[in-house]
Amino acid sequence: MSKETFIKEIAPFAQKIQQEYKILSSVVIAQACLESGYGTSLLANKGKNIFGTKGDFKGESIIIQTMEYVNGVPVQVWNKFRKDPSWEESLRDLANLYVKGTSWNRSLYTAVIGEKDYRKALRAIFDAGYASDPNI
């Protein structure tokens, strides 16, 4: 899949998310491109899972070995990831994370919601500790 094709496929869903959740579509699209290699990652190919969302979708999952960073140290682990039925479902996973936060901090990503400046939205995501990779 080309970069352009991937963006064209997810753009309408990202625009719906912006309307429904007040999360900038440009941020969602950029994050999707970065995290899935424009839809070419193993998870994106086998499970329409763009963001590496762990767990399952209605009992459907993919188990793969990944690199996690624990206290800045890389560790190989096996994880169960959602097998989403569509790009839209994967994008909604991300939107729900930003809207609902995590079990330990429901307001973790509130600065992302309604932010109109993509730089500030991305900074809020970074500051919330979204990525475990210390090199990001």
Question: Over the stretch 59-74, which tens digit does the pLDDT of each residue have?
Answer: 999 999 988 888 889 9
Place of tokens 């963001």: 51
Supply the range of the domain harboring residue 95.
3-50+85-127
The answer to whether residue 38 is domain-embedded is: yes
The answer to whether residue 42 is domain-embedded is: yes
7-36 burial string, b = 16+ CB within 10 Å, else e?
A: beebbebbeebbeebebbbebbbbbbbebb
How many domains does one find in the chain? 1
pLDDT score of 132 more than 60:
no
**Mean pLDDT over each residue of the chain, to the nearest integer:** 93
| R_g of the chain computed on alpha carbons | 15
The span from the CA of 118 to the CA of 122, in Å, is 6
pTM above 0.85, yes or no: yes
pLDDT at 134: 56
pLDDT score of 54 more than 70:
yes
The span from the CA of 39 to the CA of 122, in Å, is 20
Give the mean pLDDT of 106-123.
Answer: 96
Q: Are 26 and 61 in contact (CB under 8 A)?
A: no
pLDDT score of 76 more than 60:
yes
The answer to whether residue 56 is domain-embedded is: no
State pLDDT tens for residues 3-53. Answer: 999 999 999 999 999 999 999 999 999 999 999 999 999 999 999 999 999
